[in-house]
Amino acid sequence: MRKSIFLILASVIFFALVFCQLERGESRSTLLPPDTLLNIINEASGDLALQNEIFLAGVCRNRPPAEYTSGYFETRFLLEKLKEYGLSQAEIVELPTRSKTTWDAEMAELWLVKPTLQKLADLKDIPAFLCPGSVSTDVTAP
């Protein structure tokens, strides 16, 4: 019992001393001077990266037919950004697809037919309802 009280008391004192040092900030050492770190923080907030991500993936949309033959918008956007960031040798590498054909949904709806007729989802309203890679079907469940 005395041993556990001693260990608890020693732990409390140890952590109190460690946190006192951290509060004063005297034991902080970095590879770069504080002014350089502050300049990096002011320039590289991450907001531009977030905006690019929102621009690419923030909205699920129905693609125009040209994207299926000339390449997706996202691919061209990323290639332009890589070149803008100084990677001049960046290029698009075409890889084989898993299936022989890909499809472009022109219409997709999901209806509840019982107990009352009600539209649940429509591709025109919210394109994200259509799961990429899903197959066409026309079924009614009992």
Question: What does the alpha-carbon distance between residue 107 and residue 9 come to, in Å, rounded to a whole number?
Answer: 70
The whole model's pTM is what? 0.46
According to the model, what pLDDT value does residue 88 have? 92
Q: What is the pLDDT of residues 61-97, one digit of tens each?
A: 777 878 877 888 888 899 999 999 899 999 998 877 6
Cα–chain-centroid distance for residue 12? 41
Query: What is the domain partition of the chain in residue ranges?
Result: 2-84, 105-142
Question: Is the pLDDT reported for residue 103 higher than 70?
Answer: no
